[in-house]
Structure 1
Amino acid sequence: MIKKWLSSTIDNSGLVIFRILLGLLIMAEGFGAILLGWVEAVFVKSKFTFNFIGFDFLQFLHGEKMYSYFFVMGILGLLIALGLFYRFAMIVFTIMWTAVYLIQKESYNNHYYFLILISIIMVFLPANGKLSIDAKLFPKIKQTKIPRWMPYLLIFQLAILYFYAAIAKLYPDWLDGTFSKILLNGITQRQFLLEIFNQKWFLLFYAYAGILFDLLIMPALLWKKTRKLAIIASFGFHLFNAYSLKIGIFPFLALSFIVLLYDSIPLKFLKNEQEILTNKNFNAKLFVVFFVPFFIVQIILPLRHHFIKGDVLFTEEGHRLAWRMMLRERKGILSIKIVDKNTGVIRYHNFASELTPKQIKILSNSPDFIWQYCQKLKKEAKKPISIFVECSVSINRRPYYKLIDEKTDMATAKFDYFGHNDWILLQDLN
């Protein structure tokens, strides 16, 4: 029954419009990063970036050339929207955006990761079947129908995000409104709003509304009887986040998914072409071979922190790639002691002299940043050294707890990306 429903053909207008919206948002992301100073702050004013561990070879993506890099991505967004050389533009953008994501963690955002996943899926979908320059130049690719399961690949990816975002909120500081208060008080200085935001009833409403929205929005959008109400709720939720949290294109990207929910789009200009069925020559086995493992990984990755010793809220181990969005506030105090192995001379390293304010803030409370920076210091040292770190972290304005084992020589410490690192201390936050 479900297999038959998914394999049935539907009008491809939703996927086509989604392609156009996605292209415009990619264009806005590329050009906006330049115009709003993001490229300058992250890649030009910094001496280096903190890449994902193992991707040091991407450090060449730095400096003023990144203006051109993001300009090219903006152009690729335009090509995607126009449907001109769509497949090529989608592949190149996916590679370029993934590289941007991997080269810098100081501006880490789950939504950047989400855009990678959506772009990967879009590479495989015939989203240029109509309303595209490609369809004009190459009539053989024209089509008005696609299998229903194609847009549902995208919908399923969004559902994974929402589901894990809801589950991640099920911890004490979210459930009692503690973090809601921290978050809301940080987005405005207007007194009348602060008076509302500090009311206990409002903090609890905000906290539980966030959980319910993430948990129920996809079923509500998929069910026709609740779809209109869910669309209204989506606009309210995402536009509020776009205004208050300043999280880039994601709110608008999430709203773009609404067009994928309709089997047909009631717009006359999309109906003026002769009906052309989907290309029967596509390799269904290829989709199965690629997308089954793809989604298995997407389902497993957010669970990994449950199998790593310690509280992810404190250790950060398993935090990334798990849709743990806007969940906590971290503040850290850090000092780095360097010991000359030959002479025994001790000095404290002034890391603030070579880092941007944002890098300093994140370095002071993030174990993987600290490990990476210590490896950098070891590599740059002209003589054998030991490195010892004193670091304490406050979570959601609790007292400070020690994060790093001060007796561990970080110059020789190893990093385990998928397991617990013994040099990260375990603390009970309750």
Structure 2
Amino acid sequence: MPLSYNWQRTKNVPYNLFGNKMLNRVLFQRMDNSPLIIFRIFFGILISLESFGAIATGWVKRNLIDPTHFFPFIDFEWLHPIPGNGMYYYFVIMGILGICIALGLKYRVSMIAFTFMWSATYLMQKTAYNNHYYLLILISLLMCFFPAHRSRSVDVKLNPTLEANSMFAYVKWFIVLQLLIVYTYASIAKMYGDWLDFSMIKVLMQPRKDYWLVGELLQQLWVHKIIGVAGIVFDLLIIPALLYKKTRKTAFILSIFFHLFNSIVFQIGIFPYLALAFSVFFFDPETIRSIFFKSKTPYVPTVLSSPNYRNGLLMVAGLYFLFQVLLPVRHYIIEDDVLWTEEGHRMSWRMMLRSRTGKGNFMAIDEHTNEIYRIDPKNYLTKAQLRKVYSYPDFAWQFAQYIKNNFKKDNKDVAIFLKNSEISINGKPYKPFIDPKTNLAKERWKPFKHHTWILPSNP
């Protein structure tokens, strides 16, 4: 993927395989690179805080050290946490890489290394799944190819020939398009019954009733209505409002309030601050330069030109964003309601939409002797994993495979059943969930198809 920058002016290409002058003007005009430079600094600081914070808050211990069994993304079972205290060192390295990124020290190597390490962490366990972790992978991937080290970096200090005060506009528009996809799908996903009648907001706020000063306020119906409507409207309109000059400042102020509210009430890590950091791409580059880099040489526009990798970039970028647009809607081609089945939920920007609890009994039956074994998941799993294994079908399936393989070590072939399986979604009455007659040990997982052993949501 030839995305490295050629800083010499290239031949003007007004018409070619991928369009005309308009496309060139939008994506390949040069602009001041101050937004990208300051975003690199913010980004590096935030991912460093995320990495060190995961250690300080016990997240690493709870999810990557204490468990004796892990639930990786299906087909990534070969990814395992480093034994012992290895994951502490792993996250320290990621924290250091974040500092290097902020400083622009060996930027490209640091960015690529962090992307691989963070992606591996994401894939090796999903008990603590968060949409924001997935977004961090995508932004990190894009940043690997962006020239964010061309100014105000140690790399430039060591090699002054790297320095530049401009970038192609596609850097900005790729970030904007990625955010537009995220926020738009997040808004659309909220347009369903439990959000529109505000019952889901009530579920979200109940654990926060003991919050100092605002706990009782957050239990009020009128507050739930404001939060519910604001969640849909904000996600749907914030990107267009930031792009439109007349509404930009107001949208930014509302964005600060919205994301600080989420940070305080929901305690969702660095995402609210990362979302605010993205704002630098919406303001005029000269404004960003004058605020953060007063001594930086202003960029003077030159003749419009396209880089020699233009067509290749557009082809790869087109495929990337097509994937980003299609993946979140895959649940529409899968039978039944994704809120019930969870099939197609992850990586679809379906944020804070449901609360699931489940119960049931795992049973293993020796296929040769018919001997019955009662399986108590408490003997294998942490409390967080227990909550998932009864209420999420992929967790139940993976646990069945794990139990089957354990019996195989003793040369026993067993069938695994989940009896009396029931789940409650958003505090509603329990309903039967997993077919008790299905041998989960023999079922295959189909990532883009419905699993018939998940009982219908409306039988």
The interval holding the TM-score normalised by the smaller chain is over 0.9
Aligned in 2, Cα 1:394/1:268: closer, same or farther, shift over 3 Å? closer
Q: 1:13 aligns with which of 20, 30, 34?
A: 34
1:389 and 2:406 correspond: no
TM-fit CA distance, 1:343? 1.6
Kindly indicate whether the alpha-carbon contact (under 8 Å) linking 2:32 and 2:299 is maintained by their aligned counterparts in 1. Answer: no
Alpha-carbon distance in structure 2 between the residues aligned to 1:275 and 1:321: 38
TM-fit CA distance, 1:286? 3.4
Q: 2:297 aligns with which of 253, 269, 273?
A: 273
Kindly indicate whether the alpha-carbon contact (under 8 Å) linking 1:181 and 1:198 is maintained by their aligned counterparts in 2. Answer: yes
Q: 2:404 aligns with which of 378, 401, 417?
A: 378
SS at match of 1:58: coil
Aligned position for 1:200: 221
Aligned position for 1:109: 130
Q: What amino acid is aligned across from residue 426 of structure 1 in structure 2?
A: P
Matches within 5 A, 1:107-186: 107-186=128-207
Aligned position for 1:341: 367
Structure 2: runs of 5 or more not aligned? 1-21
Aligned in 2, Cα 1:136/1:185: closer, same or farther, shift over 3 Å? same
Matches within 5 A, 1:170-249: 170-190=191-211, 193-249=214-270
Q: 2:324 aligns with which of 298, 305, 318?
A: 298
Please give the root-mean-square deviation of Cα atoms over the aligned residues, in Å. 1.9
Alpha-carbon distance in structure 1 between the residues aligned to 2:456 and 2:423: 12
Alpha-carbon distance in structure 1 between the residues aligned to 2:58 and 2:219: 33
Alpha-carbon distance in structure 1 between the residues aligned to 2:158 and 2:211: 54
TM-fit CA distance, 1:8? 1.9
Which shifted more, 237-246 or 4-13? 4-13
Alpha-carbon distance in structure 2 between the residues aligned to 1:403 and 1:270: 61
Aligned in 2, Cα 1:213/1:253: closer, same or farther, shift over 3 Å? same
Alpha-carbon distance in structure 2 between the residues aligned to 1:259 and 1:252: 12
Q: Which structure is richer in relative contact order (CA contacts within 8 A, separation 6 or more)?
A: 2
Aligned in 2, Cα 1:2/1:288: closer, same or farther, shift over 3 Å? closer
Q: What amino acid is aligned across from residue 26 of structure 2 in structure 1?
A: W
1:404 and 2:414 correspond: no
Alpha-carbon distance in structure 2 between the residues aligned to 1:202 and 1:315: 30
Alpha-carbon distance in structure 1 between the residues aligned to 2:40 and 2:254: 23
Kindly indicate whether the alpha-carbon contact (under 8 Å) linking 1:342 and 1:384 is maintained by their aligned counterparts in 2. Answer: yes
Aligned position for 1:59: 80
1:92 and 2:113 correspond: yes
Kindly indicate whether the alpha-carbon contact (under 8 Å) linking 2:358 and 2:387 is maintained by their aligned counterparts in 1. Answer: yes
Aligned in 2, Cα 1:31/1:421: closer, same or farther, shift over 3 Å? same
Structure 1: runs of 5 or more not aligned? none
TM-score by length of 2: 0.90
SS at match of 1:56: coil
Alpha-carbon distance in structure 2 between the residues aligned to 1:61 and 1:191: 39
Kindly indicate whether the alpha-carbon contact (under 8 Å) linking 1:143 and 1:275 is maintained by their aligned counterparts in 2. Answer: no
Which shifted more, 58-67 or 130-139? 58-67
Seq. identity, %: 43
Aligned in 2, Cα 1:277/1:373: closer, same or farther, shift over 3 Å? farther
TM-score by length of 1: 0.96
SS at match of 1:57: coil
**In the TM superposition, what whole-angstrom CA distance separates every residue of 1:113-135 from its partner, at most 9, and x where no partner exists?**
00000001111110111000111
SS at match of 2:373: strand
SS at match of 1:105: coil
Alpha-carbon distance in structure 2 between the residues aligned to 1:319 and 1:39: 24
Aligned residues: 429
